[in-house]
Amino acid sequence: MTYLLPISRLCPRLKFTNRLTKSPLGSIIPIGTIRASSTKMATESSTLTHTIHLPRQPDQPVAIVAAAGVSGSDFRNAIESSLFKQWLKNIQTETGMLANGAMSLSQVLIQGVDMFGKRVGFLKFKADVVDKETGQKVPGIVFARGPAVAVLILLDSNGETYAVLTEQVRIPVGKLILELPAGMLDNDKGDIVGTAVQEVEEETGIHLNLDDVIDLTAFLDPSTGCKVFPSPGGCDEDISLFLYRNEVDKGIIQQLQGKQTGLRERGEFIKVHVVPYENLWRMTADAKALMAIALYEMAKRDGLLPL
């Protein structure tokens, strides 16, 4: 039994450009052309600075400053990254923090940059945001890692429904975690569905057809942006959650159980687990899995998916 619902979005997704020219992000000029005027030089050390103007607060420029230890190349990569430009776009949307004029942004301190090859993978910065009515600063430390995808895989066999999980070490929590197959978007093209399919194949060995994948987050109200934010108090990560369901022979379940997968050259050491779906919510602490269960069950309840 394969769900063949179309992947058409009930919720339109945002798109953005990467041009360092006049854009909704403000007037962003390549650093090389402004270094003489906006980079302050000291005798023994230098402070890299950069100024942008945002349409939402045209009379107040925003200073972008490099923290001690951030190199010129990392500073430039940070400003030009899709992570930073998407954040600037987010704060100026209709629901963004600058939308109603109640808050202002004066400075962004770039604190750290982690490169994944030629692109910025992780970006840490501190934004100085002030509530105009009280004059108080709003907590503004940001760990930016961008969009990600995860897939709830349900396999029906002999009247039972099973969920496919991956087990891998997660250094930040210091534990082995059972979780949904998932991954970050590796480029700025925003091929969300394609990334989901690729991650499933890399982590489980299961090949999915695009037409068999259902976007669960597309069922959310458009005001949400059709994505979930697992930790918005400190991280910008947004996740698109997908569903794949199919009927398979019992032998497939047995072949998947305990399978070793992952891209070893990238440090991925993954073990596949197949668990009864009815027990899934109790067997994992993975927020992606628990959110996917909630969306899946609510979509079935409201008749958006077959029971």
DSSP, residue by residue, 165-214: EEEEEETTTTEEEEE--EEE--STT--HHHHHHHHHHHHH-----GGGEE
Q: Is 26 left (phi over 0), alpha (psi -120 to 50) or beta?
A: left
pLDDT tens digits, 244-281: 999 999 999 999 999 998 776 777 789 999 999 999 99
Residues 6 or more apart whose Cβ sits within 8 Å of residue 185: 146, 147, 148, 149, 191, 192, 195
pLDDT of residue 41: 34
The pLDDT of residue 74 is above 70: yes
Name the percent of the chain lying above pLDDT 70: 83
- Ranges of each domain in the chain: 22-144, 148-301
The pLDDT of residue 8 is above 70: no
pTM over 0.85: no
pLDDT tens digits, 160-179: 999 999 999 999 999 999 99
Rounded mean pLDDT of 45-72?
93
CA distances from 52 to 4, 107, 125 (A): 47, 10, 16
* CA 287/CA 302 separation, integer angstroms: 23
Place 63 in a pLDDT band, splitting at 50, 70 and 90: very high
Cα dihedral across residues 289, 294, 298, 300: positive or negative: positive
pLDDT tens digits, 79-118: 999 999 999 999 999 999 999 999 999 999 999 999 999 9
Place 189 in a pLDDT band, splitting at 50, 70 and 90: low
Rounded mean pLDDT of 41-70?
85
pLDDT of residue 240: 95
Q: What is the DSSP letter of 249?
A: -
Average pLDDT, the chain: 85
pLDDT of residue 190: 63
* CA 146/CA 240 separation, integer angstroms: 11
CA distances from 122 to 113, 119, 298 (A): 6, 9, 33
pLDDT of residue 239: 96
Topology of domain 148-301, per CATH? Nucleoside Triphosphate Pyrophosphohydrolase (3.90.79)
The pLDDT of residue 24 is above 60: no
State which H helix or E strand residue 27 sits in. Answer: strand 26-27
What are the strands, taking DSSP E only, across 76-189? 103-116, 119-131, 137-138, 141-144, 148-157, 160-170, 175-179, 182-184
pLDDT of residue 187: 58
